[in-house]
Structure 1
Amino acid sequence: MSRILIFGGTTEGRLLAEYCHEQKKSAWVSVATGYGKTVLPESPYLLIQETPMNEEEMERFINHNGITLVFDATHPYAAVVSKNIASSCEKTGTKRIRVVRESLTNKEDGGAGEHVIWVDSVEEAVLYLKEKEGNILVTTGSKELARFTLLDSFEERVYARILPTVSVISSCEEIGIKGKRLIGMQGPFSQELNEAMIRQYDIRYLVTKEAGNAGGFQEKIKAAEACQIKSLVVGRPMAETGMTLKEAKEILFDYDAGDGVQVDGGSQEDPSTIRNVCLIGIGMGGPEQMTVQAVKALKDSQVVFGADRMLKSIEDMIPGVKQIPWYVSRDILPWLEEHKEYKKIVILYSGDTGFYSGAKKMMEAFLAESNQSTYETEILPGISSVSYLCSKLKTGWEDAKLMSLHGRQGDVAEELKKFHQVFALLDGTNTVNQVCLRLIEEGFGEVKLSVGERLSYSDERIITGTPVSLKDGEFDVLSAVWIER
């Protein structure tokens, strides 16, 4: 049963909904329009309420659905809606979190430059524009658009960027703003696209609300400055208190519908919270070669790191889990420090974690980090290339010399002088052809040589011959060889 309710219709609301989907947490998401529903992910964990609610309807909805935690992620200017949410939560005794955007600039710190004019309301912006000439691009939303019809020749001067829905376009046409004066698009927009629109319609004044980074505010201001036009910025009606999107995600992560969480006083991040890190060897690459323990750890994870080819091999196994194609500590550790809401972390490695694997350095990095963050680390080894190839060749490897020429230097021929069996991992620098020539050079041209390519994949190939017979063959650069004399 879903006991979480997100009031959305904003970027923050959508991102919270996506996070619930990723974390497999059931939640109701309330949006005011059908368009708000279309930008949400299709998920078995999300229930959509797309009809606007007044205070009484919110109260009934909360009681009827047993809601225990409410996130108010509505627009910074939706003051009436936020007031109704707060009141309904107070009456029902429901915990409420206001998700606020970080304000990028304000009057006190000098705004965004001399080309920016700050006003307290849309009405004040209209009064300013009455004394000016030139085209106007309004990006404050369709609900505020009627005020701009007070301007002389508004039908010719005002261009409105609005949401591309039938109802919104119809409401604009009813007040006389229509045709090419309507730009139906969903943002946020890049600086370059804003600049293109300004130039296309010969805009002299851009009207916007200070809506934080998620609203594309900075891109609009920079575009206006680049085009040397004025920006009229409607400052926020009041300073808001609440949690950032990141803090809200941390609350969501720890939230238990039965026990609840303490939500007063901002971020509830507990520095002593243990974060589980699992380094998994996935074998040669085919998912069938993974251990049951590794599969379980993957399915329980919240974020998975690894080389792109590894992530692709297991993506069907973990739908909804965040996947990032990184595999070195200098990339992974800073990201984890910035995203402490992720507590179950998996890092993938090919083959066995104990045989020339990057898992060793990664473990050292996490151990060094333990004085600052609490990580509980675990290594789950995979099936190594040597054990797999030897099983296919029906032989043992307890007396063999194991070596890797994958990004390393070594001499297979010299090792074969000391050992009867040699196993080696190869790469694009140390190829099968080069190994064959080196063996022939040292008098081992007729020893038994087996080459394993694409081991465990559907196009796996294992060829056995001699250095003489195989020296001119074509082989995958990431091959493994088994040599016997």
Structure 2
Amino acid sequence: MTILLLAGTGEAQTLARALSEQGHAVVASLAGATRAPRALGVPMRIGGFGGEEGFQRYLQEAGIRAVLDATHPFAAHISNRSAAVCAAQGIPYCQLLRPEWTAGPGDNWVFIDREEDAAAHIPEGARVFLATGRQTLERFANLAGCYLICRQIDPPEAAFPFENGEYLIGRPPFSEEHERELFKRLAIDWLVVKNAGGSAPMSKLVAARDLGLRVVVINRPAQPDAPRVQTVEAALAWVNAL
């Protein structure tokens, strides 16, 4: 049985190794958003499938018998399409979706549904750290009165799209100490994050709490109505029960 692992998260890296060690035939798929991704120890394919029809053809031609979706919580288009195609073809599908972050004592968060809504909360003159990646950067165009710093993994291929900002290059994970020192050095007032969940990415939120920074948290998009687990262990159990 060949398993298609839709990757792109730390959980996917752990799953790829664990499934391979258990003797499963695994192909890991990455969307290609990051150049030179880390090797996963299993055969990898990089790039999209060519839409819904292309994904259907790939599943058939590659002999895929199960799909384990460990993509980012904000890769909802991929997850929804994959779940729908698998349901139509009778292929077992399961999504590994880690729990959302929730505010705790000392956190000063505001929740929004769209990047464009951040401007309703962040005042002019603020220095804003965008930990949301380059793919949605254009949606912050209405923060023209602020200074924006957008962190991304790969060096940019073009100039920053606005006059009031810059890119910062860095590859996670980042420690809490690193994030505290970075925010202090950059004189950050506001942090903007997607509600990705997970322990390692939370270091920036802990740093923001320690420094008393305001945080805008973007809510997750709608996820597929499909089998779902929250941990690597549960995902492995699902595979082994097939």
> Do both share a fold (TM > 0.5)?
yes
CA 1:75–1:34: 2 relative to 1, 3 Å: closer
CA 1:5–1:114: 2 relative to 1, 3 Å: closer
Displacement of 1:91 after TM fit?
A: 2.4
* Structure number with bigger Rg: 1
Show the counterpart of 2:26: 27
The answer on whether the counterparts of 1:158 and 1:181 sit within 8 Å (CA) in structure 2 is yes
The answer on whether the counterparts of 1:188 and 1:214 sit within 8 Å (CA) in structure 2 is no
Q: 1:143 aligns with which of 130, 135, 142?
A: 135
CA 1:177–1:33: 2 relative to 1, 3 Å: farther
Bigger share in helix: 1
In structure 2, the gaps of 5 or more residues are none
The answer on whether the counterparts of 1:73 and 1:98 sit within 8 Å (CA) in structure 2 is yes
Is 1:213–2:198 an aligned residue pair?
yes
Deviations 1:14-50 (CA, angstroms, capped at 9, x unpaired) = 2211212322322111101174763133x3xx22110
Q: 2:99 aligns with which of 98, 102, 105?
A: 102
Correspondence list, 1:200-239, <5 A: 200-214=185-199, 216-217=201-202, 219-238=203-222
The answer on whether the counterparts of 2:6 and 2:30 sit within 8 Å (CA) in structure 1 is yes
Structure 1 Cα separation of the partners of residues 174 and 194 of structure 2: 14
Q: Name the SS of the counterpart of 1:187 in structure 2.
A: coil
Show the counterpart of 2:153: 163
Show the counterpart of 1:84: 81
Show the counterpart of 1:250: 237
CA 1:9–1:80: 2 relative to 1, 3 Å: same
Displacement of 1:6 after TM fit?
A: 0.6
The answer on whether the counterparts of 1:137 and 1:206 sit within 8 Å (CA) in structure 2 is yes
Show the counterpart of 1:49: 45
Which letter maps to 2:29?
Answer: S
Displacement of 1:11 after TM fit?
A: 1.4
Which letter maps to 1:128?
Answer: H
Q: Name the SS of the counterpart of 1:74 in structure 2.
A: coil
Q: 1:68 aligns with which of 65, 69, 76?
A: 65
Displacement of 1:188 after TM fit?
A: 2.9
Structure 1 Cα separation of the partners of residues 169 and 72 of structure 2: 19
TM value normalised by structure 1: 0.46
Displacement of 1:207 after TM fit?
A: 0.5
Structure 1 Cα separation of the partners of residues 4 and 89 of structure 2: 13
CA 1:73–1:111: 2 relative to 1, 3 Å: same
The answer on whether the counterparts of 1:191 and 1:220 sit within 8 Å (CA) in structure 2 is yes
Structure 2 Cα separation of the partners of residues 123 and 111 of structure 1: 25
Deviations 1:184-220 (CA, angstroms, capped at 9, x unpaired) = 1122322111111101110000001111125612x22
The answer on whether the counterparts of 2:160 and 2:166 sit within 8 Å (CA) in structure 1 is no
Show the counterpart of 1:118: 111
Displacement of 1:235 after TM fit?
A: 2.2
Structure 1 Cα separation of the partners of residues 111 and 35 of structure 2: 29
Which letter maps to 2:97?
Answer: V
The answer on whether the counterparts of 1:126 and 1:147 sit within 8 Å (CA) in structure 2 is no
Structure 1 Cα separation of the partners of residues 75 and 31 of structure 2: 11
CA 1:239–1:48: 2 relative to 1, 3 Å: closer
Structure 1 Cα separation of the partners of residues 163 and 54 of structure 2: 34
Structure 2 Cα separation of the partners of residues 147 and 247 of structure 1: 36
Show the counterpart of 1:199: 184
Which letter maps to 2:110?
Answer: I
Q: Name the SS of the counterpart of 2:215 in structure 1.
A: strand
Show the counterpart of 1:128: 121
Structure 2 Cα separation of the partners of residues 174 and 117 of structure 1: 26
Displacement of 1:94 after TM fit?
A: 0.7
Q: Name the SS of the counterpart of 1:181 in structure 2.
A: strand
Structure 1 Cα separation of the partners of residues 218 and 65 of structure 2: 35
Q: In the comparison of the two structures, how many residue pairs are matched?
A: 238
Correspondence list, 1:42-441, <5 A: 43=41, 46-53=42-49, 54-105=51-102, 113-129=106-122, 131-153=123-145, 157-164=147-154, 166=155, 169-170=156-157, 173=159, 175-176=161-162, 181-214=166-199, 216-217=201-202, 219-238=203-222, 242-244=228-230, 245-252=232-239, 254=240, 261=242
TM value normalised by structure 2: 0.88
Show the counterpart of 1:353: none
Overall identity of the aligned pairs, in %: 25
Which letter maps to 2:213?
Answer: I
In structure 1, the gaps of 5 or more residues are 256-260, 262-485
CA 1:174–1:197: 2 relative to 1, 3 Å: closer
Show the counterpart of 1:16: 15
Structure 1 Cα separation of the partners of residues 27 and 56 of structure 2: 14
The answer on whether the counterparts of 2:4 and 2:64 sit within 8 Å (CA) in structure 1 is yes
CA 1:174–1:132: 2 relative to 1, 3 Å: closer
Structure 1 Cα separation of the partners of residues 216 and 174 of structure 2: 18
